Amino acid sequence: MEIKNVTIIGLGTLGGSLGLAIKKFSPEIIVTGIDKASVLVRAKNLGAIDNGCLYNELNVGLQNADLVILATSIRGIQDILPKIALYLKDGSIVTDTGMTKRQICEIAKKSLRDNITFIGGHPLVGYKRGGIGLSNPYIFSNNPYILTPIDESPSELDILKPLIESIGARVFVMNPVIHDRLMGEINSVLQIIAIAHTNSIFCDLDEGFIDVATVLGGERFRNFSQPLLVEPYYWEEVFKSNLDVIKNHIEKLNKNLKKIIESLDSEDTGDFYKLYEKAKAYISKVPMYKKGFQSKLHYLYVTIEDKPGSIAKLTSIIAEKGYDIRDIELVKIKENEVVLIKVAFKSQSIASKVGKLLMEKGYRYNMYISYDFDGIY
């Protein structure tokens, strides 16, 4: 089967981004959106959909769909699966964008006919809130996109996978049980730790010390706790749909915390070093993806004057010599004096050549490889 017609149910930031990406990279595909009337108007104006239907017009929006993408909340996906079952055409594929997969896959298996294939989906692009107006066709570029078929290896996977890859994503296929275990242990528990840790710090801290505490925490604490700015209802449904995994992992975590404290309580701290080195060995194998890039980047921290045109001048010097900047970030400003700019390159060789060039032009710089934890969640 060839995918000629796609229907997206739910045109928030993520659903809208999928529509924009499909229309950009596969413009021949007809995209139909299902949402509220006001959202459909905006989606069509943005070019995210060709046609629109209201939620009470499911039969119309689904009648020609080769692929249906459920891009609502986890609860929304669970609620709508039984409702769409009547209107899906034979041989169609259904996927979703939920952050947990077991419950959704179980409902899909019970709700859909045997000649409909459900393949769970989870684009790892972070929490995207703000509606259709913040949709972006490039958010999938070089980011992981997990597919979790209910059956071992359905032939329909070979139809869906190329479409997901065409929007720039890196596809990984795994069992929904494995997906939920890994996402629960790695992601959800980290969020729960952030809630508990932040409350533990500030619950009995005098108000006068709060500003001092946040200064002492610095970038590391900000990056660790920043996901707490996401609305709690988003995480609540993620946690509840995967609560058994979370409970089991927190038990393991508590045992490991106890081991660390016991190792530090001992006069011989050899066990502490063993535990630390063990964790260090594990984390050294984890690739630190940075803003969508697959490999480590090499940074120059360059000091420039704080005046209009300084950044443009710096980037022009680099561009004129044909060097490709892979990332750039304003790090620190001392107003009316200096600005620290972080500029990334794909190899140490290029970073070194640019550093030499900038020195010749009178700039000061330091060079680092991207194994810092700035912005990594």
Residue 376 lies in a domain: no
Q: Are residues 154 and 200 in the same domain?
A: no
Q: How far apart are CA 99 and CA 208, in angstroms?
A: 39
pLDDT at 215: 80
- Edge-first strand listing for the sheet containing 364-369: 327-334, 338-345, 298-305, 364-369
Burial 342-360 (b: 16+ CB within 10 A, else e): bbbbbeeebbeebbeebee
Of 201, 163, 192, whose CA–CA distance to 25 is shortest? Answer: 163
Q: Are residues 56 and 203 in the same domain?
A: no
The angle at the Cα of 2, spanning 159 to 13, to the nearest 5 degrees, equals 70
At 136, list the tokens: 């972006």
Q: Is there a domain that residue 377 lies in? A: no
Q: CA 9 to CA 238: how far, in whole Å?
A: 20
Tell me what pLDDT residue 150 has: 93
State how many domains the chain has.
3
3-state secondary structure of 353: helix
Does 290 reside within a domain? no
Strand partners for 338:
305, 334
Kindly state whether residues 269 and 335 are assigned to the same domain.
no
What length is written for the chain? 377
Do 114 and 183 fall within a single domain?
Answer: no
289 in any annotated domain: no
Taking alpha carbons only, the member of 122, 10, 2, 16 closest to residue 67 is 2
Which residues in the chain show pLDDT less than 50?
289-294, 370-377
pLDDT of residue 63: 95
Q: Assess contact for 35 and 10: CB atoms under 8 A.
A: yes
CATH number of the domain at 305, please: 3.30.70.260
278 and 342 fall within a common domain: no
Q: Tell whether 248 is covered by a domain.
A: yes
* Verdict on whether the full-model pTM lies above 0.75: yes
Claim to verify: residue 160 and residue 52 sit in the same structural domain? yes
Decide which of 150, 174, 198 is a domain's last residue: 174
Domain that holds residue 355: 298-369
Does 375 reside within a domain?
no
Q: Count Cβ atoms within 10 A of the Cβ of residue 122 and give its class: 0-12 exposed, 13-18 middle, 19 or more buried.
A: buried
What is the rounded distance in angstroms from the CA atom of residue 323 to the CA atom of residue 315? 10
Q: Which structure tokens are listed for 180?
A: 């939920």
Residue 67 belongs to a domain with what CATH number? 3.40.50.720
* pLDDT at residue 9, as a whole number: 98
Q: pLDDT tens-digit profile of 121-168?
A: 999 987 656 789 889 898 898 889 999 999 877 899 999 999 999 999
Provide the pLDDT for residue 236. Answer: 95
